[in-house]
Structure 1
Amino acid sequence: MEVHHHPDLHHKKKNFKEYFLEFLMIFLAVTLGFFAENIRESIKDKNQLHEYVQSMVNDLQSDTVMYNEAINFNLAHCRIIDSIITYLTQNKDNNNKRLYYMARQLTMGSSVISPTAKTFEQMKSSGGLRLIKKQFIADSIGSYYQWIKRFDYWSDFQKQRMNELISINDRIFDAAVLFSIVKKIENENTSGFTQESNPALISTDRMAINAVMMRYQYYYGILKLMNERALSASKEAIDLISLLKKQYHLE
């Protein structure tokens, strides 16, 4: 006859100290895991913020270059307009050669100020702006990017003034002569006529000339306005670059 021995299912009862130690170990493991995850996220956020700020500084530096180029371009065009209005006021035939060239040169290009908001928009869409903890930095960034939104309106206004100028040039300028200037620049890479010619205006009517001068001076005004805005925006950009570099220890 076999005798079966049943295992002893009665374990020794743990005392309070053992339960407390197990609880403490579990608590410490969970707590350390929590802190480790927070530290990991903090490091990740810090690295992400550094990348954002560096990218924003790059955008701002590109903006300052663009502002300076636009200002210089506009100043050169303002000088051209000064000369055009002077020549039209004098109404001397021997000025026509230079007058035609300047009138055509003025409408062969324009400066369009379009600041870069790529990084700022990316931070907005991804929630990256939350990483900026200091309110005065967030305010400075928001102020600059709110300011440059106005360039959309001002640039459209500048294009409108340019189109008005182009649309009235035919009141006094010969289209064939203006086109010949473009062809000579294309073919010879020169800055004017190669022959000793002095083409006539198609009209010397003072009302027509006055209407053309009116459009030129309106365009002159918007170029001056754009330069004022560009100077202000450039100062804002430079100040923001300095702030970001100082606060985030960038080179």
Structure 2
Amino acid sequence: MEVHAHSHTARKKWTHYFWEFLMLFLAVFCGFLAEYQLEHKIERDREEKFIQTFIEDLKTDTAAIRQNILFRQNKMKAMDSLTLLLNSQQIKGHENDLYYLGRTFVRGVRFQSNDRTITQLKNSGSLRLIRNEQAADSMISYQKLVEYIYYNQEDDRIERREADPLLSHIFYPSVFDKMVSIDGINRPVDNPPLRSYDKNLHFDLAYYVHQLKGSNFMIEVRLKLLNEKAKNTIEFLKKEYHLK
């Protein structure tokens, strides 16, 4: 019977296993590092996109703010004129002015911030993507000021509605009805009489006008602050994120 000699495989040195382990470790680590870098880049891109859309929102806001400030400045002048007529009892011969001013002072224009980016960040839990703390703080503080203005606007709305009963006692609704058109509020074509010439009702209305002037003034002040904050925030974010 033929006998075959067993072949013996040479034992590998420990350094061989070490290098195998090291190469495997490096392959896994590099894969992890590449994935981490990719995720990090995706988050950076998303952060920059949010900043860009927030800047666009601010630009939209500044245009709306300017229009609202102009409306409130004109309204303040109208309320000053109405207060003067009521308090000085310059009624007879000024019915045309009283009808026009009485109908327009209860009108309002609500400022509505373009909050698409802030809403998306909150609803998706993506505020964490804004890693720049100053940028995040500027966005949050801007939104806080917007909310204060909303509170003031709600007070303004309530005060305007509280004046409605007095208007119905002083003015004829049929005249008001003819003054309203698709283009807004028009002056009466003539000098229609008031429903009431009771000076006590006139003084009561003057008080409501006074209250509204305070709300109108506060909203205008805060809108101006918001406008400055919007412009400063735009410049700051452009500089921080190297945007044009």
Of 203, 206, 230, the match for 1:237: 230
Partner-residue secondary structure (3-state), 1:115: coil
Find the counterpart in structure 1 of residue 94 from structure 2.
95
Structure 2 equivalent of residue 28 of structure 1: 26
CA distance in 1, matches of 2:85, 2:192: 14
Partner of 1:139: 137
1:201 aligns with 2:194: yes
- The normalised TM-score by structure 2 is 0.89
Moved over 6 A (4+): 3-6
CA spacing shift, 1:9–1:95, aligned 2, 3 Å: farther
Q: 2:205 matched to 1:212?
A: yes
**CA positional deviation for 1:5:** 7.9
2:155 to 135, 157, 182: 157
Assess if the C-alpha contact under 8 Å between 2:104 and 2:185 holds in 1.
no
Distance 1:179 1:121 in 2: 40
Coordinate RMSD, CA, aligned: 2.5
Deviation digits for residues 69-105 of structure 1, max 9, x if unmatched? 1111111111111222223324242211232123223
Count of aligned pairs: 243
Distance in 2 of aligned mates of 1:189 and 1:26: 77
Partner Cα distance (1:82, 1:189) in 2 = 21
Q: Output aligned runs, 1:9-158, within 5 Å.
A: 11-88=9-86, 89-107=88-106, 109-158=107-156
CA-CA distance at 1:189 after TM superposition: 7.9
Which digits, 9 at most, give the CA deviation of each residue in 1:90-134, with x for residues without a partner? 424221123212322333x41212323331232233332222233
Q: Is the 8 A contact 1:172 1:203 kept in 2?
A: yes
Once the two structures are superposed, what CA deviation does each residue of 1:48-87 show, in whole Å capped at 9, x if it has no partner?
0011101111112222222211111111111111222223
Deviation at residue 9 of structure 1 after TM alignment: 8.0
Contact in 1 for aligned 2:179/2:185 (Cα 8 Å): no
Counterparts of 1:179 and 1:96, CA distance in 2? 16
The one-character-per-residue Cα deviations of 1:155-208 (angstroms, maximum 9, x if unpaired) are 2101011101223112211111111212xx34x9883334xx211112212111
**CA shift at 1:149, angstroms?**
1.9
**Do the aligned residues in 1 keep the contact of 2:99 with 2:187 (CA within 8 Å)?**
no
CA–CA distance in structure 1, aligned partners of residues 166 and 8 of structure 2 = 107
Contact 1:114-1:151 at 8 Å conserved across structures:
no
Deviates more, 1:167-176 or 1:144-153: 144-153
Partner of 2:174: 176
SS in 2 for 1:94: coil
TM value normalised by structure 1? 0.87
Structure 2: 5+ residue runs without aligned partners? none
Instruction: Give the distance between the partners of 2:227 and 2:167, measured in 1 at CA.
Output: 34
Identify which range, 111-120 or 198-207, moves more after superposition. 111-120
Matched, 1:247 2:223: no
Percent of residue pairs identical:
28
Specify the code of the residue in structure 2 equivalent to 1:193: P
1:192 corresponds to: 187
Give the Cα–Cα distance (whole angstroms) in 2 for the partners of residues 146 and 223 of structure 1.
19
Q: How many angstroms apart in 1 are the aligned matches of 2:3 and 2:81?
A: 120
